[in-house]
Structure 1
């Protein structure tokens, strides 16, 4: 298998103190050498955002994996064609979520969530992104700069864009990955203060290098996931951020 994937979420201190659940979610799949992965961050102000994040993460990854299984070479598509393919999948997931919201007597905005995802082989691929969070593609060439899909926020502090918003299609961004990879990291904005370097120029090496070194050496994926969850839930992170934290690390095996 071309990829080893580890992922975990931890409830933020501010949510735990208010008795709220973690509103982040993640999903991933591998089809042949193609990695499909997604991290969603539910809006803290939306009453069913946890369910929305989980629904979108599962639905979008499953749909993209199905298309790859059916022979569609998504990682090879150009930026515009890849964007169209991903927009089609997200649009269908959004429509299905709207049906869920109607059945619950709620509005689509009650399930608000951001989205940062990737479809890639070890040689190339693309990020797709609505709202905050970060995607980082670590190049195989250690001297090369990583490809980074940065957050996009609104005009005001603590504002961002959601898949449930009326202008979601305009907010969908795609970033090609054009260099061979040694790994990919996706994270919600709660993990960014300690996992990203200053100015979001790359992964923060004092935190990420020990994490990746351990994960590369661990034989059991579940053990790696538990260790990653414990790291995210370390009380020392509570002094850095009170937000929910999700980190997905995909490494070339």
Structure 2
């Protein structure tokens, strides 16, 4: 069982345009990422309203730099389908949060990683909200048009992985799973019950509640995946309206497959566009999968 605790309550940009896959690797994490427009949006001639950025952050700490590792940062947003500019809100949220979180991570003392990471994630989420709303208000003044924040409603997930640490900040839906010891896959977020399955919070909400912060430390952490809620019905098991665990066999092949320098994200894209996904998933789909190498038997191929 993963130990976990939760609070109640400038690096290279790794964001491709929606629909484009992206892959990278380092001495630590190897990852692949892709987004695909959902069948419902294709039928309605609507664009993909998901957005993401994924990359390694810069490390000024000489000790961490000497190790040749860097935190892997993932930001994912799902623009509200009912909002006229949900896609733009998602793009803004991922870009702003990536920049803010990168700067905060540069100051982290990893000797006290748990408390530091929780502070970074909570601060990044609130700073992102303030910066996003300020940008919208600035655009309103510039265009002399009132831009209602609700027109840009979007969820936001910020995920940081470094060594044995995995931290998640979340507002709204979407989910994160973690793999330990190369075999056991567990649902990390969400961990709270929502009253209605189709209701969620947005970072642009006027009365936003406290974001969910989840921090885990596990020496056996070997992989994680971040996804928007479009994948939830096919990837997670539910008890009523509450997601409770990953579906057996869904994520393990994905973790096993990450490692190729050239084909991982293309393979991920093919999965998201497969007939099964098109048939069962009406919403846009975004999936980021990251794994650690297995030493001499690393999954990373050269």
Q: TM-score range by the shorter chain?
A: 0.7 to 0.9
Partner of 1:158: 198
CA distance in 2, matches of 1:209, 1:86: 27
- Equivalent position SS for 1:207: coil
CA distance in 2, matches of 1:85, 1:119: 10
Partner of 2:174: 133
Partner of 1:62: 99
The offset of 1:244, in angstroms, is 0.7
Matched, 1:210 2:210: no
CA distance in 2, matches of 1:156, 1:204: 21
**Which residue among 216, 219, 225 is the counterpart of 2:261?**
219
- Equivalent position SS for 1:239: helix
Deviations 1:128-183 (A, max 9, x none): 1111111112122746x635111657534411001111232x23011121213100
The offset of 1:67, in angstroms, is 2.2
Moved more, 106-115 or 154-163: 154-163
**Which residue among 105, 119, 131 is the counterpart of 1:96?**
131
CA distance in 1, matches of 2:245, 2:193: 19
CA distance in 2, matches of 1:114, 1:91: 13
Say what the alpha-carbon RMSD is for the aligned residues: 2.4
Matched, 1:176 2:219: no
Moved more, 81-90 or 157-166: 81-90
Q: Identify if the C-alpha distance between structure 1 residues 154 and 188 changes in structure 2 by more than 3 Å, giving closer, same or farther.
A: same
CA distance in 2, matches of 1:74, 1:225: 33
CA contact (8 A) 1:154 1:161 kept: no
What is the TM-score with the length of structure 1 in the denominator? 0.86
CA distance in 1, matches of 2:153, 2:193: 14
CA contact (8 A) 2:36 2:285 kept: yes
CA distance in 2, matches of 1:57, 1:119: 14
Matched, 1:41 2:78: yes
**Which residue among 231, 234, 237 is the counterpart of 2:277?**
237
The offset of 1:215, in angstroms, is 1.9
Partner of 1:50: 87
Deviations 1:54-85 (A, max 9, x none): 1111221222122223445498132xx64443
Q: Which runs of 5+ in 2 are unaligned?
A: 1-26, 58-68, 294-302
CA contact (8 A) 1:122 1:182 kept: no
Matched, 1:251 2:288: no
Q: How many pairs does the alignment contain?
A: 246
CA distance in 1, matches of 2:111, 2:34: 26
Q: Which runs of 5+ in 1 are unaligned?
A: none
The offset of 1:110, in angstroms, is 1.3
Higher relative helix content: 1
- Equivalent position SS for 2:84: coil
- Equivalent position SS for 1:77: helix
Moved more, 154-163 or 4-13: 154-163
**Which residue among 163, 180, 195 is the counterpart of 1:122?**
163
Deviations 1:184-243 (A, max 9, x none): 111001012222245544433433222222223x232xx321221121011221221211
- Equivalent position SS for 1:95: helix
CA distance in 2, matches of 1:100, 1:236: 39
**Which residue among 33, 52, 58 is the counterpart of 1:26?**
52
